[in-house]
Structure 1
Amino acid sequence: MRPRGTTLVATLLGLGLCGLALTGCAGPADPPKGPGPAEIAEKWTSCAEVAPQAGVMLPVRPGSATSPPAGVEPRVGRIDPAFTPVAAVLCGRDVVPGAAGGREQVAVERRADEIGPLVAALALADEERGRGDVACTADMLVPPWLALLDDQGRWLRPYLPMDVCGKPRREVRAALDGLRLTSVDSRTVGIVESSAAEAAGCAQQWADMVWVQASIGGPDPVAPGAAPGAAPKTGPLRLCVYQVPPSERGGGKPAGDFVYGRPLPPERQADVLRALVGTRPVADCATPASRFAVLRPVDDNGPQWYVELDACRRFLAVAPSGGSQLGQGDAALAALLGPS
């Protein structure tokens, strides 16, 4: 089975107005003239050294294996006739199951030695832009990080010929899809989802939405007894607690890392819901929380809450319809959302 992430990644972003036109549309404005010859580097080493950030999908948190600094890459361009490619190397990242559960992000290096069709496709010219007989959609095609090597170990970054819509030509995409790739190296660079988060049914990272909403001057404070969804009929809730690294606190959208989580026992849930009914004015406070809790229905169908477990101890109640309100919690509410 071909590993995922080795060829072009297509993300459907929807059709723009030109994609809806019956007679097609012109592509974006004419680009500058095509590039000159690619710069040839003397000796290939590895993806880890040359392109450590290729295919990055998520930031690496403190405590995870970190990526080395980005290498200096040669200029992308056309293949010089004096350079005869004999192999292709693709650098990227995959998400795989972790050895102890959960999911990890791994940096991968893959190689192909049968590259005739790819070299032929890379020699094609760009298609003429602005033709009116082709409908250009808003698909975002992200090509892989690609290098070509010759029999002396030298390498270069080839230019990918573009089609009428400014995307890699179909011949290039087909050639990349047809490569027979062999894994050369794979190394873990970060945790996507820890085994503990997976077991708890929680995401590995979450944003502190109390801070986000309070920082932009909304939403309205919760009126006493009016917290969205705080009625006894609320279904079973799952608790997920996150720690906000110091570097994230006070930012525009602080991201927290999973600490602990579990479904709330019925008795504890009843106490929590009573505490989430707004009875106090929201504190005038601007201290970022170091920990916050997320309360969501186990079946993902219903209201949810974000609770600051220290600092200002506010909470944000979010109704199923999307409306939200700020409320004021306290140390007793934080204790109900503790690890035991």
Structure 2
Amino acid sequence: MASSTAALLAGCTSGTGNGVDTAAPSLRPQQSRVASIPADAIRPAGTPQVNAQWASCAAAFPATATLPSPYRIPRFDPSFKAVTVIVCTESRAGGSGAATMREQRSDNVAPVLDALQLPDLPPLDSTVCSGEGEIPLNLVLLDAQGRWIRPGLPGDVACGKTRPEIRQALQHSGLA
């Protein structure tokens, strides 16, 4: 039995005898770049929906609405000329009261627009995702006419997390 196992293993190397594993490429484990993407993380093509006049975070993100993940929204299109970035965050008075939406604005949009151009991280294996959760980021861009979009955020779609450069850009814009 030992000799048949050794013969089988010898057939998996190049036979150089130098102890280096040179297994044929077809025998090496292959890592899929798409098989591990959750079905709901496939980003749709196109551009984000352009909405009429901005009203408020509460109107854009009502507590009773089910909003799509930022990875299910089309990516930012630079043809939308953003002049203001808004971050909407939910807060509860005393930690248990009714939820209210807080709105933060900045006209320093350049860092955020640059970060929105980053690609999604290549999805490899969702089993290597860190265990900590992420507070969803409700980011809105306004143009000079007051129209607004909610752009898709570049992220690690397999793990469901926003790229860290987005939060860094928000800090540079005074929104974090």
Is TM > 0.5 for Structure 1 vs Structure 2? yes
Corresponding position of 2:56:
46
Corresponding position of 2:115:
121
8 A contact 1:37–1:77 mirrored in 2:
yes
Identity %: 34
1:35 deviation in Å?
A: 3.8
- Mark the runs of 5 or more structure 2 residues left unpaired by the alignment: 1-30
8 A contact 1:148–1:155 mirrored in 2:
yes
Corresponding position of 1:158:
151
- Mark the runs of 5 or more structure 1 residues left unpaired by the alignment: 1-24, 54-68, 183-340
Larger of the two Rg values belongs to structure: 1
1:91-102 matched pairs, under 5 angstroms: 91-96=88-93
1:158 deviation in Å?
A: 0.7
Change (3 A) 1:114 1:76: same
Q: Normalising to structure 2: TM-score of the pair?
A: 0.62
Whole-angstrom distance in 2 between the partners of 1:52 and 1:77? 21
Change (3 A) 1:34 1:130: farther
8 A contact 2:74–2:151 mirrored in 1:
yes
Whole-angstrom distance in 2 between the partners of 1:171 and 1:150? 22
Corresponding position of 2:77:
80
Give the counterpart letter for 1:139 in structure 2: E
Whole-angstrom distance in 2 between the partners of 1:94 and 1:33? 28
Between Structure 1 and Structure 2, the one with more helix by share is 2
Corresponding position of 1:227:
none
The alignment partner of 2:134 has SS state of: strand
Is 2:134 aligned against 1:137?
no
The alignment partner of 2:155 has SS state of: coil
1:90 deviation in Å?
A: 1.9
The alignment partner of 1:140 has SS state of: coil
Structure of greater relative contact order (alpha carbons < 8 Å, 6+ residues apart)? 2
Give the counterpart letter for 1:85 in structure 2: A
Give the counterpart letter for 1:146 in structure 2: L
The alignment partner of 1:141 has SS state of: coil
Is 2:168 aligned against 1:171?
no
Change (3 A) 1:105 1:50: closer
Give the counterpart letter for 2:50 in structure 1: I
Q: Normalising to structure 1: TM-score of the pair?
A: 0.34
1:1-340 matched pairs, under 5 angstroms: 29-30=36-37, 31-33=41-43, 35-53=45-63, 70=65, 76-96=73-93, 105-130=99-124, 135-163=128-156, 165-181=159-175
Whole-angstrom distance in 1 between the partners of 2:149 and 2:57? 13
Question: Root-mean-square deviation (CA), in Å?
Answer: 3.7
Corresponding position of 1:263:
none
Change (3 A) 1:81 1:179: closer
Q: For residues 5-27 of structure 1, give each alpha carbon's deviation from its aligned partner in whole angstroms, at most 9, with x where no partner exists.
A: xxxxxxxxxxxxxxxxxxxx999
Whole-angstrom distance in 2 between the partners of 1:96 and 1:147? 24
1:166 deviation in Å?
A: 3.8
Q: For residues 132-177 of structure 1, give each alpha carbon's deviation from its aligned partner in whole angstroms, at most 9, with x where no partner exists.
A: 9x94212211222111101111110110111374421111121234
Change (3 A) 1:26 1:120: same
Whole-angstrom distance in 2 between the partners of 1:141 and 1:26? 25
Whole-angstrom distance in 1 between the partners of 2:65 and 2:167? 26
Whole-angstrom distance in 2 between the partners of 1:29 and 1:71? 25
Change (3 A) 1:84 1:174: same
